[in-house]
């Protein structure tokens, strides 16, 4: 694995993985700041900044930014998450320096023109409306709000129309000054690239990015709670979850394996019991999300209103049994699926660039494929069962949308699972 890392005197880190079998490259900037880093009066600002980054600099207008990339055959993208904001492009390997030039321009010299800002606020208002009209997205917003009440980590990434409308250029600049700095930034590239070329282009272009120390991040405080909302829908959308572990926790791999066994595929316990044997849902999936200092584990499904309560009870029983009696066969299958997922990232420049950037930011290093495989292979049944039992012992979070009162509240969930 040809991963190389360079840290510039400014603190800006550069990580690359040369994949000589490819002709294209994925190049981007990962900023270690996202929705959970917003103050209460900044809810939605991280996402707005991501949108505004492409709306013009002193040397390029909005059209020129995308035209320059697309003239080279590439495409430019950005995304905001709870803990990261990403700006990246896919191009031919020879055009990787062009991406760094453009990304440095938009991240250090954007104008944030008031007219562009006004238009983009309207675009985001439509995006928020789209989520509100999409029950399987909206129920997860409710779930996060209940899991982490009164905290930025639990708030919807998009913000609210009223809050987004309140932001001005000064609010954007103040946020950027606090959070867009070299100690929390990573330049990552994978594919048909040379590490030295990426380093040289970064040194040439990222000269004015602030090098001030990273802002401290408030610790997450998982609480759990009830977010069941009645709404006229064809089905009841359901999410039930618990606290899990963060990236660096010793049980991180075990938690992911447990979630995979519970509901990670068509052979998983939830799919077989809920879908195949009882026909209570078209699909049901588990999830395991890890953040810097905490995580969330649970399941999501949609059911006919008459089946919602039964589905919840069957799923909870299934998870509880899994924490007590998962088998060697299930463990081997989950390990194999995790290894395939790891290898899949090595077959795509975009997936690989994202992987190495996030690993460097979350772990402080990029673990080798062999290191990850060793950790997966070393997991025992006892460790995986214990990780699952630990999550199931935490306060439940219940979110439901539809005929929501037919689903159990957190007290009923706790009773079903037994004392935590």
Structure tokens at 172: 């954007």
- Same domain, residue pair 262 and 121: no
Structure tokens at 388: 């699952």
Full-model pTM: 0.95
Distance of CA 179 to the CA centre of its chain: 18
Residues with catalytic roles: 50
User: Domain range for residue 293?
Assistant: 225-417
Among residues 205, 238, 264, which one ends one of the domains?
A: 205
Q: DSSP secondary structure string, 299-336? A: EEEEE-GGGHHHHHHHHHHHHHHHHHH--HHHHHHHHH
CB contact at 8 A, 294 and 220: yes
Question: Does a structural domain hold residue 145?
Answer: yes
Question: Does a structural domain hold residue 210?
Answer: no
In 3D space, the residue among 84, 81, 26, 1 whose CA is nearest the CA of residue 372 turns out to be: 1
Q: How many CB atoms lie within 10 A of CB 150?
A: 10
Question: Does a structural domain hold residue 211?
Answer: no
- Same domain, residue pair 130 and 61: yes
Question: Does a structural domain hold residue 292?
Answer: yes
**386: Cβ contacts below 8 Å, ≥ 6 apart:** 251, 254
DSSP H or E run through 227:
strand 225-230
pLDDT tens digit at each of 420 positions of the chain? 589 999 999 999 999 999 999 999 999 999 999 999 999 999 999 999 999 999 999 999 999 999 999 999 999 999 999 999 999 999 999 999 999 999 999 999 999 999 999 999 999 999 999 999 999 999 999 999 999 999 999 999 999 999 999 999 999 999 999 999 999 999 999 999 999 999 999 999 999 999 999 888 999 999 999 999 999 999 999 999 999 999 999 999 999 999 999 999 899 999 999 999 999 999 999 999 999 999 999 999 999 999 999 999 999 999 999 999 999 999 999 999 999 988 887 889 999 999 999 999 999 999 999 999 999 999 999 999 999 999 999 999 999 999 999 999 999 999 999 876
DSSP 8-state code for residue 61: B
The total of structural domains in the chain comes to 2
Starting at the earlier edge strand, list the strands of the sheet with 3-7: 3-7, 13-18, 185-191, 24-31, 85-92, 75-80
- Same domain, residue pair 247 and 197: no
Q: DSSP secondary structure string, 381-416? A: HHHHHHHHHHHHTSPPEEEEEESGGGSPPHHHHHHH
Q: Report the CATH number at residue 196.
A: 3.30.830.10
Question: Does a structural domain hold residue 218?
Answer: no
Among residues 205, 239, 261, which one ends one of the domains?
A: 205
Q: How many angstroms separate the CA atoms of 32 and 183, rounded?
A: 9
- Same domain, residue pair 183 and 247: no
**Residue environment code for 158-194, b if the CB has 16+ CB neighbours within 10 A, otherwise e:** bbebebbebbeeebbeebbebbbbbebbbbbbbbbbb
- Which residues sit opposite 244 in a β-bridge? 295
Question: Does a structural domain hold residue 83?
Answer: yes
Q: How many angstroms separate the CA atoms of 405 and 396, rounded?
A: 16
- Same domain, residue pair 130 and 253: no
């Amino acid at each position: 694995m040809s991963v190389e890392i360079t840290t510039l005197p400014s603190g800006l880190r550069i990580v690359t993985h040369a994949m000589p079998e490819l002709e294209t490259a994925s190049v981007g900037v990962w900023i270690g700041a996202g929705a959970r880093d917003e103050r209460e009066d900044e809810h939605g600002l991280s996402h707005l900044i991501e949108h505004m980054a492409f709306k013009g600099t002193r040397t390029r207008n909005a059209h020129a930014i995308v035209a320059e990339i697309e003239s080279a055959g590439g495409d430019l993208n950005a995304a905001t998450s709870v803990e990261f904001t990403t700006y990246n492009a896919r191009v031919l390997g020879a055009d990787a320096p062009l991406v760094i030039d453009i990304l440095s321009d938009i991240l250090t010299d954007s104008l944030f023109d008031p007219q562009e800002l006004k238009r983009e606020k309207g675009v985001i208002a439509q995006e928020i409306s789209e989520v509100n009209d999409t029950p399987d997205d909206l129920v997860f917003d409710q779930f996060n709000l209940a899991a982490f009440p009164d905290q930025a980590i639990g708030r919807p990434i998009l913000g609210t129309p009223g809050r987004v409308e309140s932001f001005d250029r000064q609010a954007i600049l103040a946020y950027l000054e606090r959070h867009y700095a070299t100690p929390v930034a990573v330049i990552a590239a994978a594919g048909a690239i040379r590490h030295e070329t990426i380093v040289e282009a970064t040194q040439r272009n990222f000269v004015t990015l602030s090098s001030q120390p990273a802002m401290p991040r408030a610790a997450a405080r998982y609480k759990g709670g009830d977010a069941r909302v009645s709404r006229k829908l064809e089905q009841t959308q359901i999410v039930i979850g618990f606290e899990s572990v963060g990236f660096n926790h010793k049980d991180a791999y075990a938690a992911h394996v447990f979630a995979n066994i519970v509901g990670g595929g068509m052979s998983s316990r939830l799919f077989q019991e809920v879908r195949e044997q009882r026909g209570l849902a078209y699909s049901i999936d588990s999830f395991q999300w890890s953040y810097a200092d905490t995580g969330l584990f649970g399941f999501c499904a949609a059911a006919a209103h008459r089946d919602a309560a039964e589905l919840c009870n069957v799923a909870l029983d299934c998870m509880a049994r899994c924490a007590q009696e998962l088998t060697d066969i299930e463990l081997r299958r989950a390990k194999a699926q995790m290894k395939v997922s790891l290898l899949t990232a090595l077959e795509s420049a975009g997936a690989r660039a994202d992987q190495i950037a996030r690993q460097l930011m979350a772990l402080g290093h990029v673990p080798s494929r062999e290191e990850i495989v060793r950790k997966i292979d070393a997991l025992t049944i006892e460790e995986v069962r214990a990780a699952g039992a630990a999550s199931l012992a935490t306060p439940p979070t219940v979110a439901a949308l539809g005929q929501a009162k037919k689903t159990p509240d957190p007290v009923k969930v706790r009773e079903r699972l037994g004392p935590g």
